[in-house]
Structure 1
Amino acid sequence: MGSKPPADPAYPGVLQKICAKVVIAGPLAVGKTSMIRALSEIKPLTTEETMTRAAADADSLADVQDKTTTTVASDFGRRTLDDKDGGLVLYLYGTPGQKRFRPLWRDISRGALGALVLVDSRRLGDSFEVMDMIEEQGLSYAVAFNKFPDSPDFHVDALRDALDLAPATPLVTCDARDTASSLDALIALVEHLLADPSIPEGSPC
């Protein structure tokens, strides 16, 4: 991933873009769909549906009682990071946050180069299972705290300790509704992946 993209044989001297799959993960109601909507340069595909009584009984909505819709399959968007070396096209896959979709989560994450984990500081405990799944898949990841209006104001070191993150794992804050803020979080993940020589390269687009 850190090497220079190959030249496009159809256009000598023009560098090809590199395509890579990235997972946007996190527990229920953490802002994954909002982030993909904010980031995507194309009209995003979303699979949000109205939450029914059965879903409300199955999924814990503690501290998020105002949530009325939920992702039932996967969200999808695309974001191009252009640079002088041809650029990187990221295919963004948002995962459902409910435990019962764990088999689907494994399918979605297959072939991804890394993951951006969204965390809600009001519900830190909900994030551990997601990070466990990512680590089981062998994916490198970065963590982004999505700040809500009533989010506790924790120091970043306290948040890192609470999540038991490795020193090299990036930890940033963001507003998942805001494009610039979400892009900063995505770039933190990409820079983390670029710095790891064990991460395979993406594919020419």
Structure 2
Amino acid sequence: MTDPETRAAYDAVAALYAELFSDVLETLPLERALLGAFAELVRVHDAGPIADIGCGPGHVTAHLHGLGASTFGIDLSPEMVALARQAHPGLRFDVGSMTALDLADGVLGGILASYSTIHTRPEHLPAVFAEFERVLAPGGHLLLGFFAGDDPLPREFDHKVAPAYRWSPDSLADLLRQAGFAEVGRLRREPFEHERQFHQAQLLVRKNP
């Protein structure tokens, strides 16, 4: 999808999305553990703050802040950003696009992109990863969450908000390698009962020095 289409789709469901997902981390122990490891790696490296790109209503941004990480959120949807600012007034949230981040080169110690690239057309994803690489400091970490499949080619599916894609973790790891990242670790798990019946996956990568 294009940025305007994705923005409009999430603006339309922002309030419902916040109601349904603002406490979702309470039901996701594996993801909480990985977020903790991610936050610790970024703190130890001490190269800059974490940008939660595609932050939605800001619940994960606030969770990372609670872990002691310097964190701010960016989202394409102005409605999502308004809700995030309302729910977490002490944190920074900006409207912005992951395809053209309003950030200088190398200023971030970490990027969280939790299911925020799933609507990106496959042919556009290398440009997104190149933008992530640009704004990360050398050795900075990226944690990417996505829906996983076994087919080496991305597969489109009917997401409840907007059309989205499932990716093989190996295929995404290869794209990230081409963009200048080295894999640190990965998580793939079965869906829980309340989730869409796709495997859930996380890739943790580090920008090459």
Q: What is the TM-score when the length of structure 2 is the normalising length? A: 0.38
Q: What is the TM-score when the length of structure 1 is the normalising length? A: 0.38
Larger radius of gyration: 1
| Relative contact order, higher structure (CA 8 A, sep 6+) | 1
**Structure (1 or 2) with the greater helix fraction:** 2
